[in-house]
């Protein structure tokens, strides 16, 4: 996920549902020049995250904060990379259906990303299908020439999915986000999808 998110050139990286901090810790060890912020609503998860951060020796570059992804305590357009593993509903139950929360979650992520920033999500196949069916992102067909080419992520069992032919009709619009790529990934017992977007224009705030 971190490779797909182009962290190598980033300064500020946010995981707004960081859990025990696995993604941030792995990324902080690989890219020590960046700063990482992990937010989670669960104090117990944050305690484990702090342990992991200490054990990995990345205290200098990782900060942890209690908060909600639905109301991020983060300045708009201040983050280069948002990377997150959205709860599948198996291990982490949510009081509301994730499908219901997803628009607000993505709006918050869109808000804090700077223009040119990258969003990478790990989604269940079900949630990815919901997103594909009900949400509208710009396609990268036009943007592709301007987007720096990434080295292909070495994902086993990966399959490129795209959003060609999509129309915005009746879909929830995220006008500042351009869909770059999606890849299927096997997590052993579960199949999931890496979903990558780039913020290509300013967010319109109402």
Ligand X SMILES: C[S@@+](CC[C@H](N)C(=O)[O-])C[C@H]1O[C@@H](n2cnc3c(N)ncnc32)[C@H](O)[C@@H]1O
| Distance in angstroms (rounded) separating the CA atoms of residues 164 and 140 | 9
Binding part of the chain for ligand X, among 40-48, 130-138, 174-182, 198-206 by CB under 6 A, reads: 40-48
> How many chain residues bind ligand X (CB under 6 A)?
19
Query: CB-wise, 39 or 118, nearer to ligand X?
Result: 39
Nearest of 106, 137, 131, 135 to residue 200 by alpha carbon: 137
Query: CB-wise, 39 or 138, nearer to ligand X?
Result: 39
Binding part of the chain for ligand X, among 39-47, 123-131, 135-143, 184-192 by CB under 6 A, reads: 39-47
**Least distance from ligand X to the Cβ atom of residue 98, Å:** 9
Helix/strand/coil for 64:
strand
Query: CB-wise, 1 or 34, nearer to ligand X?
Result: 1
Q: How far is CA 17 from the centre of its chain?
A: 9
The tokens of 194 are what? 């890496």
14 binds ligand X (CB under 6 A): no
* Residue of 3, 12, 22, 166 interacting with ligand X (CB under 6 A): 22
* Residue of 3, 35, 41, 76 interacting with ligand X (CB under 6 A): 41
Query: CB-wise, 44 or 167, nearer to ligand X?
Result: 44
Q: CB neighbours (10 Å) of residue 115?
A: 12
Element (H, E) at 45: helix 43-56
85 binds ligand X (CB under 6 A): yes
Give the torsion through C-alpha atoms of 98, 79, 68, 136, to 10 deg: -20
Query: CB-wise, 49 or 200, nearer to ligand X?
Result: 49
Q: CB neighbours (10 Å) of residue 92?
A: 14
Site for ligand X in 44-83 (CB under 6 A): 45, 68-70
| Distance in angstroms (rounded) separating the CA atoms of residues 119 and 121 | 7
The answer to whether the CB of 173 falls within 8 A of the CB of 136 is yes
**Least distance from ligand X to the Cβ atom of residue 6, Å:** 19
Cα 32 to Cα 12, 58, 60, 79, distances in angstroms:
11, 8, 9, 17
Query: CB-wise, 190 or 201, nearer to ligand X?
Result: 190
Site for ligand X in 102-161 (CB under 6 A): none
Task: Tell me which residues touch ligand X (CB under 6 A).
Answer: 17-23, 39-42, 45, 68-70, 85, 87, 92, 94
């Amino acid at each position: 996920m971190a490779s797909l998110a182009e962290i190598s050139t980033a300064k500020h990286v946010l995981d707004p549902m960081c859990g025990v901090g696995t993604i941030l810790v792995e990324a902080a060890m690989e890219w020590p020049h960046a700063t990482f912020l992990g937010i989670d609503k669960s104090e117990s998860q944050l305690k484990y995250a702090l342990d992991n951060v200490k054990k990995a020796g990345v205290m200098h570059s990782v900060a942890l904060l209690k908060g909600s992804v639905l109301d991020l305590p983060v300045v708009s357009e201040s983050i280069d990379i948002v990377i997150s593993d959205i709860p599948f509903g198996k291990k982490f139950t949510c009081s509301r259906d994730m499908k219901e929360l997803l628009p607000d979650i993505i709006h918050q992520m869109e808000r804090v990303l700077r223009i040119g920033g990258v969003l990478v999500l790990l989604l269940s196949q079900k949630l990815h299908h919901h997103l594909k069916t009900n949400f509208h992102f710009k396609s990268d067909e036009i943007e592709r020439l301007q987007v720096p080419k990434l080295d292909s992520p070495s994902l086993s069992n990966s399959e490129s999915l795209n959003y060609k032919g999509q129309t915005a009709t009746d879909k929830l619009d995220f006008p500042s986000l351009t869909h770059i790529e999606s890849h299927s990934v096997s997590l052993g017992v579960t199949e999931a999808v890496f979903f990558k977007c780039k913020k290509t224009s300013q967010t319109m705030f109402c």
